[in-house]
Structure 1
Amino acid sequence: MKIRLGLLGASDSLEIIQSVVNKYPEFICTSLECLTEEDLIEKVRPHLDEIDMWLCSGPITYKIVQDWKGIEVPVFYVTYSGSTLYKTVLRVLYEQQVEVDEISFDSCNISAWEHALQEAGIKTKPRFVESEMISLEGLVTYHFELWKSGQTKAAVTGHPIDHELHRLGVPAYRSLPSTMAIEAVLTNILRTYEMLHFKATQIAVQIIEIDSFLGLKKDSFSTDEIFRIELKYMEKLLSYTKKVHGSIKPSGFGRYVIFTTRGLLQDVTGNFSHIPDISNLDELSKEAVTCGIGIGQTVYDAEINAGNALLHAKECAKGTWMVCFDNKKIAGPLGKPEQLTYSYASKQLESISRQTSLSVITLNKLKSSLKKLSSDKLNANELAKYMQIPPRSARRILTTLEQNGFAQVVAEEKPHTRGRPRKVYRISPF
């Protein structure tokens, strides 16, 4: 199967890349000259469903693509290093008769430029290197202000920044991709494609538990009614199983196991971000269906992981879906904005678990919650929200950590309504 590769960047760079890609029979290329976000909207959007992976001609084009956020498949770019960099610098030094410390650079970090200069036998170190991929306008301003103030006499950048700097009178030079750099990224693309193809064919097992009693009146149901409800769910699960090209088997009262592949399940869950659509299930019925998804290289591994995922789902609430990957990472609840990804295998957390009597899973969820909040401080209500547990359970966890020296009360917040102040805890690094 051929890889449909989209090429993005300036036309002269694309010609060089295309000449190298032509030597690889694994690729079918679509080359699109794109210099702005408007180009992406006009030229790339119509081809999104036709391309497996994209390759940008350099880091600046890659930055434009990343800021656009319109491409969901993997995107790569050609890196500039070694001979590609020092050839450009030597050209600037020869044509402009300047010193290295009178040139402004971007697109690479300072160590890359220093290494390239050392390879060329130049001992002078660069003074002005913008390593961050800031906006195009920001990079133009960066180079122009240095030149205008007399601190630099030339700039080394990418396209279309060089074009704008030329318009402003700045001597600007750009590097073009080297054959070696293009071959390196094409090799990386091939490996990534193989890895993704392998992942897509991994075994996926779903263990589904159905609460047939949910919604029944306490004093007015019979075994016949329960059987009728079971048949209704079974019919819908059969339709869903057909959708994921899988097979289904009963596994005890109210429990079913569905076998399919990771790739198909990724498609129906939006890369494991939401619960798949099981036709004609109302809100009450959705609440009755709890599911653990397991991914593995064998059916046995996938079933074990699905069982672990189901246990985590049942800890949260009815109607929860969780997934356990082959690397023992747990993700979920699917469809929730507070979705967490955590592992239940950690020697450091096992040590803290022994000291606090809190499970490794609980500690991992706490760690993931702090990562989501981008902070080492939180209160019980925030922890309850992210871990999908009652506030009293969250308070118990934080109190336990405080008692064992892994948390410290650093503030108290007064609630908007009546009630006791909420303690804010700083959690020690795990």
Structure 2
Amino acid sequence: MQIKIGIVGTASVVARVLQVMKTFPSLAPVVRIVGQEQDAADAAASLEGEVEALLLSGPVPQRFVKEKKPVAVPIHHVPLTGAGLYRALFEAQRDGRLGPDAVLSVDSLTKSMVMRTLRELGLEALTVAVYDGPPYASPDKLVGYHRKIAEGQDNAFVFTGVERVAEELARLNLPHARLAPSDEDIIVTLERALLSTESRKGKESQIVVGMVTVDEFGKLVLRSASEHDIQKLKLDIHRMVLDYVESLDGYLTPVGGDEYLFFTTRGIFERETGGYKTIPLAKDANTSYGITLSIGIGFGATASEAGANARSALRKSVAAGGNACFIVREDRTLIGPLEMADPVSSILAPIDPALLRRAEEAGMTSAYLSKLLAYMSRHGKYDYQVHELASMLNITVRSAHRLLLQWADAGLVGIAGMEKMPKGRPRQVYRFFFLADHYL
């Protein structure tokens, strides 16, 4: 099952966290949005028995939680770093709001962070004032500090990491920009939160079985000039896969001329794939030898269960057209496709087994579903015209019409709109609602 993590904070930061969390298929967010940071304590306490870790939108909410209503689960907060100032400075300068003689007033960051950022951007000549009072100063105190710096300064510009301070500065018509955490800061915090959960700790040493096959290996053999070239290619591929499995501290054994089986542990596999996001082996194979791979990964409480799940995942990767990797977990949820030789536009969250059964009962074969998921991951597309779907599934337009009617009767597909054509009648656009609702 997915690991539940509580997300508590103001709407703007929570929205950013949820956007980044889409790349963490193991995490399931439970959200509590608060209007004021001091309300975070009550919101966090209400989640204590429901989640395995808490992620707060900043250090101030974390302080309120620890002081007023301590909770028994690990608490993490999204930090503000120099990366947030980089972005705010860039946007202010791009919009022409930051002159060469500007006077900057900054809170929520240390002076060393601010000066290092300005130095790296070549802006160290600017006059800067950094608030160095109590780290949990009230919004009113911060507003007073910024007003004092801006007095008599036509070129003053404020950078604040506190939402209420930004709102008050806007009311006072003081030029300002909001410091927000970068995506990298959020990713690091989510990784720490994930590692702190009991579910994650318990699965660190769980067995993982992987199956790798070279796509269309028979055609590669036919194109080879001699038996010597074929044997050399096999050795090169074997060496490449062996190096990758070595990075997983795993064990590799070849199953056939174009298939390999490896074993590793879940903790190592998760770290090497960046939390089930990308398979470096696939890009290496494509860059070095111009080949693509189909990979199936299986998790399980036993080696037998993990092996069966790996075989199931491999079938889905092959059915998707190759150059794909799917993961089937111990609860039969499906993750994938991961990023392979081609980049993907989004990492898809795990698909519930009940949703998979619903699709299968409506006549959507595993091959069709795998192709849909692979295409959606690479192009972020949920809406199709009939001819687009036919091309993507490699079937006739007539067959696509028949399948769409069948899936529409089961509630999987619906009409999203009409597309006007230069000539002829408008074409219907179909949306796969059962996937769009799940992911979007």
Higher relative CO (Cα under 8 Å, sequence separation at least 6) belongs to: 2
Which has the greater radius of gyration? 1
